[in-house]
Structure 1
Amino acid sequence: MKIRKSYGSNGERSVYIHENKKEESILVAIPSLEWSYFFKYDEAGEELYTSIKHSITKQTDSNEAEELSSRIRQWTSEM
């Protein structure tokens, strides 16, 4: 599991990223937002970014959701 810090307009957020190579999946969680998201490797790309952003928007404002979605996409693509 990797833990990343996101510093944005709403302060610092800890982002937990767990990669399961055997099942080819990734679980992302942000405890301070009570939010998590699970996806498979083959779901990468713009569609995944949009889906994550839409999901996070339910827990925070749209500006922070966009910031977090962008960072999550970058971090998970590096794995």
Structure 2
Amino acid sequence: MAQSVKPISSPVPEPWYPTLAVLMLAVGLIVTASFFIYEATSSKKNRSLAKELTTGAVASVFLGFGSLFLLLACGIYV
């Protein structure tokens, strides 16, 4: 029975961690910047709650996964 057990492995190859961290953090920061620009340049009457929530959610996902891959690339396994 012990022979049939497979070790847990990452679905993403380890050499990709730094690249994924940089790309996801960059995309997350760009989406965050666009969110702030949208908030600063649009009037209160022209704002869309759906657009704000969508932009915030996309930025949050990219920054979250970018932070995860940054920690994994540094050797901090969470």
What's the TM-score once normalised by structure 2's chain length?
A: 0.31
Higher strand share: 1
**Comparing both chains, which one has the higher relative contact order based on Cα–Cα distances under 8 Å and sequence gaps of 6 or more?**
2
What's the TM-score once normalised by structure 1's chain length?
A: 0.31
Structure with bigger gyration radius: 2
